Amino acid sequence: MLKHTLIHPEINAILGRAGHHAKILIADGNYPASTKKGPNAQVISMNLTPGVITVAQALRAILSAMPIDAVNTMGIPADDSYAKFGEPPVWNEFRQILAEAGSPLKLEPILKWDFYKAVESADHVLTIQTGDQALWANVLLSVGCRTA
């Protein structure tokens, strides 16, 4: 039996093969998961219905299963109409989840078009497509190292 909270067998298999610096995208329901991905990435659809599951729920599960070195959000370009509203509220939820997991990591936004390029790298191994309806809720994780 697994001790961590992540029990999805296919996701566990992909994570088990992922090495240091591998990229895991947890995508919101608006993300173009079938076209914006790396050449080695597998897409796991967890978008059962609008709002189920959320990026936050997937983030909690991934953080329970493996070390993470970096957490990037999709940054909002200054010319985007949403930019006038400031940070998306969901980012504070992500910060809370990181704190609950005991992680010292900070959210590091990457502007939208650069975010897509980062996802399209050969290091991208997994996209978890959620049904999250929150705007700008995409999170790109960099896998860390297991230490003694």
pLDDT of 2 reads 67
Backbone angles phi, psi at 137, to 5 degrees: -100, 10
Average pLDDT of the segment spanning 31-43: 97
pTM equals 0.95
Percent of the chain with pLDDT over 70: 98
Q: Are strands 68-75 and 107-111 parallel, antiparallel or unpaired?
A: parallel
In order of their start, the domains of the chain are 18-143 (3.40.1650.10)
pLDDT of residue 148: 66
Residue 49, C-beta contacts closer than 8 angstroms, at least 6 positions apart: 131
Mean of the per-residue pLDDT values of the chain: 94
The amino acid occupying position 132 is D
Query: What residues form DSSP beta bridges with 132?
Result: none
